[in-house]
Structure 1
Amino acid sequence: MPLVVYILGLAIFSLGTAELMVAGMMSTLSDAFDITVGEVGHLISYYAFGVMLGGPVLTYVFLKFKAPYRTTLLWLLGLYVIVQGFSAFVSDYNVLVAIRIVTGILCAGCLSLSLATSMALVPVESRPRAASIVIAGFMVSNVFGVPLATIIDQQWGWRMSFGLVAILVFICLCALVRLLPPMAGGSAIKMAEEIKAFKNKAYWKACATSCLILGASFAAFSYFVPVLVDVADFNMQTVPFILMLYGLANIVGNMITGRLAYRHSLAIMVVGLIVLIISLLGMALFTQYQSIAILAVIFIGLSGVPMNPAMMARIVSVAHPGPMVNAVHTSVINIGLGGGSYLGGMAISSGYGLRSALWIGLILAILALLSVLPYARRGKQGWN
């Protein structure tokens, strides 16, 4: 596997850390900007909404105009460095909101092009592995990126965390300038094939379930830190290690579901959602007990985000997996990610307490389970 593929994975690791690291610095940002914890959680939502907006639009533009991979990716990464770097110096919450939306849009373009570039660099038989290395950057950002950003915030402040992300992206950019060969753009988009998928009700049902699953997961994850500190009474020095357990659970769960998703996507979703519901319920009711809180975090990590391979398998089974189909599905996932975080923040800001975010996640998980139970009752092998 070429070294440049791993550098692309490191760049995506940086972008994934930027999206989620806010969850580890809730109290710091709340004090710095004189806002509520719920409003801090909204910063995750704004980044996710940027990804949602940028994914389909930039994918269409790249394919429509056959944008050269190398040049376009380097420009997008360069812009990301500038905007993310600027975020380390702002003092106004509204400016930071605008920056989060812009960086989300740029992240969507960087992810799309990094995947396309990684697969273009290797033989056909190695393309799935190359793509998995790039995607692994996002997964590993949960394990190491978010906890490290939390530790840096505790020692040197949130501005240092934001700035170091920009520096890491800049290092990746410099390496790619040197190592990434010139590459032509992708083939022109075939909208007729894509439109067929968009007319399929089964596709939108699959998107709705994906949205609810990610919404349930991130309504909880976005507020783990204040819940663990203020309700479970953990000290802030312990929290990064609990977040690391969550990230490791994500990876283990993804490894399990990745092997089973193609043949057993329905079973994975049903079992995974039942585990997610029980975990969220247990954490909402008993998070004051530290051992239960840690177990709940681990099982939410095992069952929530790791259902992604099953979600993708469902999409493939009901629609032609073209670039726009995948981009729209990714956008819908980010609606769930941002929407769950936003709803959790609204509940907290409205005075319902920190546990209210967990109850929001529980409601979304129940709705997701209800959306797949009809298929289980009918005993269908397919999703149509």
Structure 2
Amino acid sequence: MPIAVYILGLSIFCLGTTEFMISGLLPLLAQEFAVSIPKAALLVSGFAVAVAIGGPPLTLASLRTSQKAALISLLILFTIGQTLGALAPTYAILMVARITTALSVGAFFGIGAVVAVNLAGTEKHGKAIAVMFGGLTVANIVGVPLGAFVGQHWGWRASFWIVAVLACVSLVGVIAFVPGSARSSTVDVMAELRPLRRPAMWSALATTALSQAALFAVYSYIAPILTSVAGFSPGAVPPILVLFGLGTFAGSYIGGHFADRHLSLNLYIGLTMLAVVFALFPIALLSKVTAIAIVFAFGIAAFAINPALQTQVMRVATEAPTVASTVNISAFNIGNTLGPWFGGITISAGYGYTSPAILAVVLAFASAIAAVVTAKLRQAHHGSNTGMSN
């Protein structure tokens, strides 16, 4: 795998750490700016909404430049936002900083995914996507817990500064190792948007959004699930989350290995496994040993599908994958936003902390149905030769 793909993975590590580490810093931020925890949590949902909305327009704006220039510009924008966040004197300015960094995330994921698969070659598309999403996995294993640790010991601003420095390292890496790519000044924007007119694209995006809604309906409440239901102490939660992160690493590796040759099968099996894991959650939480095991299995199932989700969209939009890839990142973040909301509704209704897992079973199966529909529509559009590649 070319070193440039790993540089892109490092960049995604920075972006992913920034997106998720804020959850571990909420009490510190609420105290710093004298706001409630729910208001501080808007820094999380605001980020996700900005990614979903901002990614496609920025990607369209970058079509007349080289992909390398676009990646460099997006990393500079991210670094500016991250620096502004570290210096933010008020909650409002921190929100502006979060939105600024978020705007670069969707476009960077989308453009970076296209660059990665082009560098890796036709036979290694899924593995290249897995390396990029591996950066997101490592963010969950290392970045998020480390951000919380640094915030508790040296202040939340230190966490922001560390990510800003790593973003600068990524920027140097992109400049040095990502090859330049010519981009015609006569790019047909309508051609890039054409895949969005296909039903297969919208069912693929639904697959992504529903799967992520299922994931985050449960993951968003994993701490109270472990303490209030499984009976763990609060101090046991971070190590268990590290175990979840290790599961995501294993899942990304497995998914990347199978996404190239068995794309649809990867999704069918992966989403079914995810539904089964959620169905077992209430039972597994009766024992601490099985609770730990189910969290690890959750990590594997949740991330085994990610390379296939991105690859599926890029195959639907083979001739114009850049905007479609970015729109899929928007779908990821729509799921990230809706999942906690759906889970919160069931908890607020009095059904308990295990109720999001039951809801997630339905969402995961709905995602699997959308994946089946996508495969059928894609076969119908591309013909029997494409159908054989499933």
Q: TM-score, normalised by structure 2?
A: 0.79
2:44 aligned partner: 44
Q: Structure 1 residues 368 and 3, CA, compared in 2 at 3 Å: closer, same or farther?
A: closer
For 2:283 and 2:256, how far apart are their aligned partners in 1?
Answer: 31
For 2:262 and 2:114, how far apart are their aligned partners in 1?
Answer: 28
Q: Is the aligned partner of 1:54 residue 2:80?
A: no
Deviation at 1:211, TM superposition (A): 0.8
1:172 aligned partner: 170
Aligned partners of 1:26 and 1:226 also within 8 Å: no
What is the aligned counterpart of 1:320 among 309, 318, 332? Answer: 318
Alignment of 1:1-384 (within 5 A): 5-25=5-25, 27-29=27-29, 41-63=41-63, 66-90=64-88, 92-115=90-113, 128=125, 133-174=131-172, 179=176, 183=180, 185-187=182-184, 188-284=186-282, 287=285, 289-316=287-314, 318-320=316-318, 322=320, 323-345=322-344, 354-355=353-354, 357-372=356-371, 382=379
Q: Structure 1 residues 355 and 39, CA, compared in 2 at 3 Å: closer, same or farther?
A: farther
Q: What do the CA deviations read for 1:309-352 (whole angstroms, capped 9, x no partner)?
A: 33345435544352222222222222112222344456667877
For 2:120 and 2:284, how far apart are their aligned partners in 1?
Answer: 51
Q: 3-state SS of the aligned residue for 1:88?
A: helix
Q: What number of residue pairs does the alignment pair up?
A: 378
For 1:355 and 1:217, how far apart are their aligned partners in 2?
Answer: 13
Deviation at 1:307, TM superposition (A): 0.9
CA RMSD of aligned residues (A): 3.8
Q: 3-state SS of the aligned residue for 1:320?
A: coil
Aligned partners of 1:23 and 1:223 also within 8 Å: no
Q: Structure 1 residues 366 and 263, CA, compared in 2 at 3 Å: closer, same or farther?
A: same
Letter in 2 for 1:216: A
For 1:217 and 1:10, how far apart are their aligned partners in 2?
Answer: 24
Q: 3-state SS of the aligned residue for 2:140?
A: helix
Deviation at 1:372, TM superposition (A): 5.0
Q: What do the CA deviations read for 1:114-137 (whole angstroms, capped 9, x no partner)?
A: 4566677x6867985766544432
Letter in 2 for 1:50: A
Q: Structure 1 residues 226 and 103, CA, compared in 2 at 3 Å: closer, same or farther?
A: farther
Unaligned runs of 5+ residues in structure 1 are none
Deviation at 1:38, TM superposition (A): 5.5
Q: Structure 1 residues 126 and 246, CA, compared in 2 at 3 Å: closer, same or farther?
A: same
Q: Structure 1 residues 365 and 157, CA, compared in 2 at 3 Å: closer, same or farther?
A: farther
Answer with 334-343 or 231-240: which moved more.
Answer: 231-240
Q: What do the CA deviations read for 1:256-307 (whole angstroms, capped 9, x no partner)?
A: 2333334544443333233222322333565364223322221221112321
Answer with 298-307 or 365-374: which moved more.
Answer: 365-374
For 1:357 and 1:91, how far apart are their aligned partners in 2?
Answer: 37
> Identical aligned pairs, as a percentage?
32
Q: Structure 1 residues 272 and 125, CA, compared in 2 at 3 Å: closer, same or farther?
A: closer
Aligned partners of 1:11 and 1:172 also within 8 Å: yes
Deviation at 1:22, TM superposition (A): 2.8
Deviation at 1:162, TM superposition (A): 2.5
Aligned partners of 2:249 and 2:303 also within 8 Å: no
Letter in 2 for 1:55: G
Deviation at 1:168, TM superposition (A): 1.8
Q: TM-score, normalised by structure 1?
A: 0.80
For 1:383 and 1:25, how far apart are their aligned partners in 2?
Answer: 48
Deviation at 1:4, TM superposition (A): 5.3
For 1:72 and 1:303, how far apart are their aligned partners in 2?
Answer: 33
